[in-house]
Structure 1
Amino acid sequence: MGLTEEAEGETAPQEEASESVEQAEAAEAKPGESQVYVVKTTSGQEANVANLIYMRALTNKLPIYAVMVAEGLKGYVFVEAAGPHFVDDASSGIKHVKQRLQGVTSPADLERYLLVKPVVEELNVEDVVEVVGGPLKGMKAKIVKVDKVKNEVTLELLEAAVTMPITVNADYVRLVSRGKREKEE
């Protein structure tokens, strides 16, 4: 009996050590422990900087969990990491990186950049659009009707000899110019 008690006593510290290592690894992997940092870049070079930061994080095995470029925000890259020094390590020496802004950004601040506004919300009757997909690709048209529920627009082609209404998905059009109604208001 004394022999088994000693054996159990010897393995207990090893078990405690392995449990503490597992707990430490779990604590590092918690996404709640990470923060979102902002890196200021040259305008127009956000995607290049984000790719370089991502590649450095992979090669150096830095705890960087996400790199995001917001389409509507020029000159900034958002980096989710375990600490600011990891962001500095990943971004140091990259040509178009200016600086890391002090402090952290809350995920609530990023929501407005993550939510995509549907194209149909920006379109109105009388707007001139260009068809960007399908058999009519490249043709310009005037919007006759907007159906926001179905995400469709009815168009009259400007370049066609005969004007006939064509209904297409709003994702297949790109706004070229606003209609006369909005300019008068």
Structure 2
Amino acid sequence: MQKISEELLAQARSGDETANAAVIAHMMPAIQKGASLYQAPGLDREDIVQEGLIGLFSAVRSYRPAAGVPFAAFAAACIRNAQQDACKMALRKKHAPLNFSVPLPDVDGTDTRPGPEEQAIASEACADALHKVHTELSATERKVLLASVNGLSPAQTAKTLGTSPKSVANALARARRKLRGTQS
């Protein structure tokens, strides 16, 4: 693998698409390696690759040859830092609801009606979920969950149930945790 020249970096810094593509091609093995090392719930491999590319673009903009560090080493550190930061952010507790949510299916115009097998599986899963709601949740948790499913805000639910919005939010969090099966 050849060294990235100062001229190529200057062209990439000025926005030359060909130069940017050459720098990306040169550094892609480091980006891919980082993507295989860093994993977090809610953070796909493609996301980590994108974070690595962002780190690379930052390296191209901020690299100063006078510091005496080769560009490849500087860029690898920027890529690694960007990917580590993305993993740290994904693991923060405030992102937990996103990490454990269920993605909506893509709608591309094709016939996506389920066949008989899928319908039977979905029916069984629905029955299991309803059974879990009735056996594992308290009455308050069931009421709060139902209100949430019907689109009521915690404040509206609290007013209806005669309790505080914080109590409603806590009951909803407990219900979700129980239904996911992660007790903590």
Structure number with larger C-alpha Rg:
1
Tell me which interval the TM-score lies in, with the shorter structure as reference length.
under 0.3
Q: Which has the higher strand share?
A: 1
> Structure 1-normalised TM-score?
0.25
